[in-house]
Structure formats: structure tokens, C-alpha cells
Amino acid sequence: MLGCSASGSDACNKRFAVLVLRCTTKVFRKVGSRPKAAEVVHSGPTFGEWYVNTIDFLWGGHLLTAFLHARSRYVLLVPIRSVKDAEGLVTAFCTHFLGRLIELETPPDSAHRVLSAYLEGAILAKTTCRKTLGHLNSVVREMEYMLDAPEPYVGPGDTLIIPRIEHQLNATPRGSRKDYVWPLEEFWDCLRDFCPELLPRRPIHLLGIENPEVLEASEKAFQKHLPLRLASKLHATLHQVDVLFTADELQMVEEGTRRLSAPEHGLPPRLIEDIRQQARLQRERLQE
């Protein structure tokens, strides 16, 4: 339910824990609203604002929106087939956002606590920060460049592999040399600021694997040398989706890959070495 939408008065003040979506003019045009000014004073904790733009050059004319978390610069791509108004946009975002929290293994109580900070309403407002809007526009341009060579990002029937596109965008550092962030890692740190009980975690940065035989062989090898749940997470990393590991998990990956013989399992030796090095590097970062 929209607590205060862009279809309201020119100046809208809200003093609750609300979801603030700062939208481009294209978004307002797509959902049939007009951009309005909004000043927001949060009376309680909030997970922060999101900047929103539409992706106009793909998906057969369907509405695909890019949501960028202002603080972490983390990107969510939300496909919307039939939504034509602001309330539908908010509902689609909240559904996708909760799904992503669950995919990142956020405990249900913590995930619902984050989402509950948005449940008193939503405001669709004008963009206010040129720097954040610039990051959002960069995301749109990067997607266009990525899809110039679409093979890794498009599946059967020309279906976009959205988690893979999101992963590529969120594995790209954003900002200048002085203030750049790694979006996925910063997003998790923002979650930990909101839910201090969450453990620190980091991704294992690897190049994606397209060869189905290597993917199948790696899955069997990981299951032989790692606990099943951890093997599944490491295998998902090879599919280029957002996955995060605790320090203990990274240590188990490092130790497990030492016992893994790449030639025995028909795997590229460099792949196992890269996994081991990344696991060690990210574990050391967590322990700093």
C-alpha cells in the first residue's frame, strides 16, 4: 500500500519508517504518475533509499526496472509484466527484495525486520543526488554493453538470466578511487548495520563457467570434498549468482580444495587454485 505516492501534492512530508523510491522521469511516465518533490524525516530505523530507472532496450517491451540501493550501490533488477501503476511497482520491488534477502541466506527474522522498516508506506519521489543517479545510469549503460554479447546472459527462448546480470553488476566496483565500493559486499554490511546479529560474509570472486561438462564435474568434486550445503553454494558461484560465505565456510573451502585433485575430476587446474586463493584472501579480509 502506498503511504504517499507521486500522485499527491507537490511537497509531501512523511515521518514514518517508509520505503523511498527516487525515480527518474521515465519511471513516473511508465507507471502513469508525475514526479513530485518529497521530504522524508524517518522516525525510526530504515534500510535506506533506492534509486529507480527503467530498462527500455530489451525484454520485448515489458517493463524491467533497475533499483539501486543508494548507500551500497547494490542493484536489483525487477521484471514487471503487467504492472501499470505506482502501487504495483512498490509491490513488485518488495517481493523481489524479500526474495533476494532469502537467497542471500538472511535468517527469516532478520529479513522480515529489514522489510518491516518499509511497511508503513512508500513514497515515489524525485531523484536528489546526482552522484547516485550517475551510478544508476552507469548500470543501465553497462547492461546495454553486456547484452551486445548476450550469450552468457540470455537463456533459451531469449529469456534474460537476470541473477547472472545482477551478479555482474554487483561484482563491479562503483565510485571514484577515493570512495569506491563493492556493491554486494557493501550491501551485506548495510544489512549487518541494521541487523547486528548477522555474521560478516564475503563472496568468492570467480569467472563464470559456461562448459556444462566442467560444471557437472565441479559439482561432483565439490560434493565429494565439502559438506553438501557448502558444495552447493560454491557450485552456484560458478553459475555467476550472488553468494556469500562466512569465515568458517571460507576456511572449509580452502581446506577442501587442497584435498581436491583437478585432473582426477576433469577440472581445469587453474580453477581449483583460483578458488583456494580467493577463499584465503576473503577469509583474511574478514579477520582484519
Radius of gyration of the chain (CA): 20
Report for 9-13, 156-160, 194-198, 267-271: range of highest mean pLDDT: 194-198
pLDDT of residue 101: 95
Please check whether residues 15 and 103 belong to one and the same domain. Answer: yes
Please check whether residues 107 and 170 belong to one and the same domain. Answer: yes
Please check whether residues 222 and 178 belong to one and the same domain. Answer: no
Give, in degrees to the nearest 5, the angle at Cα 203 between 200 and 204: 135
Domain boundaries, position 187:
11-194
pLDDT per residue over 159-175, tens digit each? 778 888 899 999 988 88
pLDDT of residue 45: 59
pLDDT per residue over 244-269, tens digit each? 999 999 999 999 998 888 788 888 88
Average pLDDT, the chain: 83
pLDDT of residue 14: 43
Mean pLDDT of 132-145: 89
pLDDT of residue 199: 95
Please check whether residues 221 and 276 belong to one and the same domain. Answer: yes
d(CA 28, CA 37): 13
Q: What percent of the chain has a predicted confidence (pLDDT) above 70?
A: 84
Question: Is residue 2 domain-resident?
Answer: no
3-state secondary structure 161-172: CHHHHHHHHHCC
Task: Give the count of domains, the chain.
Answer: 2
Domain end residue (candidates: 138, 161, 194): 194
Mean pLDDT of 1-14: 39
Q: What is the model's pTM? A: 0.87
Question: Is residue 97 domain-resident?
Answer: yes
Residue 4: pLDDT over 50: no
Residue 134: pLDDT over 50: yes
Please check whether residues 179 and 234 belong to one and the same domain. Answer: no
Residue 7: pLDDT over 80: no
Please check whether residues 17 and 114 belong to one and the same domain. Answer: yes
Please check whether residues 46 and 174 belong to one and the same domain. Answer: yes
d(CA 51, CA 56): 16
Least reliable range by pLDDT among 57-61, 155-159, 235-239: 57-61
pLDDT of residue 146: 79
Q: Quick one: cell of 184? A: 554486494
Question: Is residue 201 domain-resident?
Answer: no
Please check whether residues 163 and 67 belong to one and the same domain. Answer: yes
Please check whether residues 185 and 280 belong to one and the same domain. Answer: no
pLDDT of residue 43: 44
CATH number for the domain harbouring residue 90: 3.30.420
pLDDT per residue over 178-193, tens digit each? 788 999 999 999 999 9
Please check whether residues 115 and 188 belong to one and the same domain. Answer: yes
Report for 5-14, 145-154, 219-228: range of highest mean pLDDT: 219-228
Please check whether residues 222 and 185 belong to one and the same domain. Answer: no
Please check whether residues 26 and 81 belong to one and the same domain. Answer: yes
Domain end residue (candidates: 129, 161, 194): 194
pLDDT of residue 208: 76
Matching residue, cell 521484471: 79
- b/e per residue, 121-130, with b = 16+ CB within 10 A? bbbbbebeee
Of the pLDDT bands very low, low, confident and very high (cuts 50, 70, 90), residue 38 is low
Mean pLDDT of 92-116: 92
